[in-house]
Amino acid sequence: MLAGRRVVLGVTGGVAAYKAAYLARRLIERGAVVRPVMTESALEFLGAHTLAAITGNRPVTGMFNAADVSPHTTLARWADAVAIAPATAATLARLANGLSDDALVATVLATTAPVVIAPAMHTEMWQHPATISNIEQLTSFGYHIVEPASGALAGGDTGVGRLAEPERIADAVAAVLPGGPMTGVEVLVTAGGTREAIDSVRYLGNHSSGKMGNAIAIAAARRGAKVTLVTAGPTVDHPRVENVEVESAAEMADAAWNAAERADVAVMAAAVADFRPARPIEGKLRRQEGPPSVDLEPTPDVLGGIAAMEHRPFLVGFAAEVGSLDEAVAKARRKGVDLLVANDISSPGSGFGTDTNQVTLILPDGATEAWNLMPKADVAERLWDRISEMCKWEGTSP
């Protein structure tokens, strides 16, 4: 949670400095108050007036050119968190060795607030033994490192060293701060479509992209929850999300049932296969051998297994239907869930792989709540609002 939180945003002299303006905007959109501090070299890449206009606060750019007689200690005491993005190799070295020869490093040395560092540099610099050693030293200080991504770098190069996206850095800042309406809550989310082997090459599967489940996991993490995401699709990059990658329904069942034992809430958004080949073939089926006969058997009932637990978490099921949602209402009763989220995948904008969804909530008493079509991220936020009401938590999304 960043609402009302005070964040010092440090910017150093790299090409990626322009992204600090986007990060400042992301932090402010989440409710943070941002005060920038820029190194002398950062001013060669990003104008101080840009950050002043975005944050409403003039950046501190030096130790001796500010109205404040001690700008670094003032910032250090004011901050709830310090974020440095981008952090150059030179700044990492200064921080690791306590060389407080600029306002930014002096602020970090003077603060007791958590520090988030997002490095950006060329691949060779990132992989140099000195940088590796400095990162290890900073980690030992308790600083939180948002590692760079792979992609386009300055000068037309590509490789590891690209500054992490502002949204990811903002997530890291939120993660180091205590608070949030779901702090202390453990959440299990399943996502993606399982794959059931026919042979060593082919499988039975479905079109689920995992986008809805991932959005639910991210929304919970941003509210302070500790999330276990059991996924047969893409993983999530968030400090409060532990990804458990699986492929088959059996693997998902094992992972989900294990996580459910310690979870307070389980949201089962995965599209789990109902059947699997009874005798998958080792090796590859050949065309010249003719069409195979594939006998199917039921897969483990992942949702039902959690519902049957003696001390189960608050349980949210999902039902992807085609046309009528009558079967979803029957499923809610049959499975004994606390809440069921149903959608018609044949409806425009509501199918697998889309960025939007139109869902209907089915409550334990059979009552329904139909929601309008909206982005999946908004569905996730609104779903957690509804779950929080039913679980008697306070607060809403950041």
Active site residues: 206
Q: Which of 74, 87, 106, 53 is nearest to 6 (CA)?
A: 74
Count helices and strands in the chain by DSSP H and E runs = 13, 21
113 vs 148: CA distance, rounded Å: 23
d(CA 20, CA 10): 9
Residues 6+ away with beta carbon under 8 Å from 183? 224, 225
Q: How many CB atoms lie within 10 A of CB 310?
A: 4
Contact 166, 30 (CB under 8 A): no
Alpha-carbon distance of 314 to 334, in angstroms, equals 16
In this structure, what token pair is assigned to residue 31?
A: 């409710």
Cβ pair 60, 71 in contact under 8 A = yes
Give the span between the Cα atoms of 223 and 268, in whole angstroms: 19
The CA distance from 29 to 3, in Å, is 9
> Bridge partners of 105?
none
Contact (Cβ atoms closer than 8 angstroms) between residue 301 and residue 333: no
Please name the residues in contact with 141: beta carbons below 8 A apart, sequence gap of 6 or more.
Answer: 115
Q: How many CA atoms lie within 13 A of 165 on its CB side?
A: 7
